[in-house]
Chains A and B, each alone.
Chain A
């Protein structure tokens, strides 16, 4: 009898926001703990990307670019961590989960898919932030990057808004990946270098035609990077695409758009995937 009541109390029904938050924590947990269990990621995700960033720095040095461009590359190189994380650990993760057999378990559980995706985002954001900070610290030390922060409040706001919009975009595109199979991997692979190009990861986006830069601004990191560069480098404002205040307003709009889009699209795609029998499909 005692064991029975203990089992009942353990399986106490959790609903609403408590269930949502517990799901977020549960999905974030393996990502954060996984980082501690095997440390090879430090080499592959911090040291190696740092060397790639250094290569772009030396290209600028070889062609005699002003020193602020070195800083642009360091910041851009650090921000690639977030884009890679959204591509590989958010968008295409649902495809990977489908292949592993976890997706059907997610759908069967009483948790919401939004909570699961948010958990992935929180865990991924933690790992990506570590990598980005390491690249900025190492890059700044090695290349003696000079920062001239003009407004810390705006800088923090821009970063938070860019991350919210970016991970919202990741959650939204993840729902599209519910319907995809093997092509998911290739689509993510395709969205790396072209996005580095149009979002200006290694150069100011102002170098492009206005309409190209405006179209690229649909990706939150484009304006996030541009605003951050304007706020932390002395020549940043002169090379900025739009005024920082305007960029903050656009980022707020993107946050609303992507988070709402994620909720609506996820509900729709989940129903569609169930209806079309794609949840357990494995087209290899």
Chain B
């Protein structure tokens, strides 16, 4: 019974999330919407890079930045997807209170709501990588890709991001609706510490430990290694670790974040019920 409730909460939330995200317009406009935003983010970095280097796309730093940014799309998508469901349901549709009294599992419901953003993020990553190969000579050769490592890393990474999204969703229960983009803001901040768009060595020494404590750092390194091994080897940040060691660290940190998400959800959930925040509407 418990198992079926969990699965039902997740699958129905996935379907609901997809409807909310996609059926506001026709499929053509939706496809453009999905593509333009991530391409613009990538283009900002490409322009910054090309202004300073004079368009030296052969440097290993370029694929490092480009790939890190492309896969970082998942960070914003999954974290924002899961946490946005709280504000959307509480303040927009005003259905969070009904979700709470329905026979569903709330954390799995939120995780399900994040799946549609993950799917949209996948399309965005594909488009960014294709544009990189076609127009910017990104040295990505599909015959050289370590597909096993890629798929395992992607699976663990998305699970880890979902757990981080759950923590953020729980915290969102406690805060007012000052700002629309909490998930994106947190993802934007983590951009700094995860070595997504520059090697961690560029950070001051006192900030680097934060980067080493972040699972996203290891995940992005694994994604780069699986797609373009040479790129990862050109930077010393995590060169001393083998692929297996990196996977071990990533799994360990994912488990820690999963446990943390349970603790944070229980605490925030209790406080939100106690303070009457479940059906709070704030609008400035």
B149 interfacial contact with A, CB 8 Å: no
Q: Mark A104-122, 1 if CB is under 8 A from B, else 0.
A: 0000000000000000000
A44/B191 contact (C-beta < 8 A), A62-B199, A203-B48 known = no
Q: Is the CB of A99 within 8 A of B92?
A: yes
Q: Mark B266-284, 1 if CB is under 8 A from A, else 0.
A: 0000000000000001111
B70 to chain A, nearest CB (A): 14
Residues of A within 8 A of B199 (CB): 62
A183 interfacial contact with B, CB 8 Å: yes
Cβ-neighbour of B284 out of A52, A123, A185, A201 (below 8 A): A123
A65 interfacial contact with B, CB 8 Å: yes
Could you say which interface size class chain B belongs to?
A: 35 or more
Q: How far is the CA of A51 from the CA of B191 in the complex (A)?
A: 8
Cβ-neighbour of A48 out of B25, B37, B189 (below 8 A): B189
Q: Is the CB of B185 within 8 A of A88?
A: no
Q: Is the CB of A55 within 8 A of B37?
A: no
Cβ-neighbour of A207 out of B47, B178, B181 (below 8 A): B47
The interface on chain A, measured as residues whose beta carbon lies within 8 A of the other chain's beta carbons, has a size of 53
Q: Is the CB of B93 within 8 A of A34?
A: no
Residues of A within 8 A of B206 (CB): none
Q: Is the CB of B192 within 8 A of A55?
A: yes
B182 interfacial contact with A, CB 8 Å: yes
Q: Is the CB of A44 within 8 A of B40?
A: no
Beyond the given pairs A51-B193, A97-B283, A185-B180, 4 more chain A to chain B contacts, judged by CB atoms under 8 angstroms and listed by A's residue number, are: A49-B189, A52-B192, A56-B48, A59-B48
A residues engaging B (CB < 8 A)?
30-31, 34, 37-38, 40-41, 44-45, 47-49, 51-52, 54-56, 58-65, 69, 84, 88-89, 96-97, 99-100, 102, 123, 181-183, 185-186, 189-190, 192-194, 196-197, 201-204, 207, 284
**Shortest Cβ-Cβ A-B pairs, 9 listed:** A52-B188, A51-B189, A62-B198, A193-B40, A55-B191, A48-B189, A194-B40, A34-B284, A41-B178
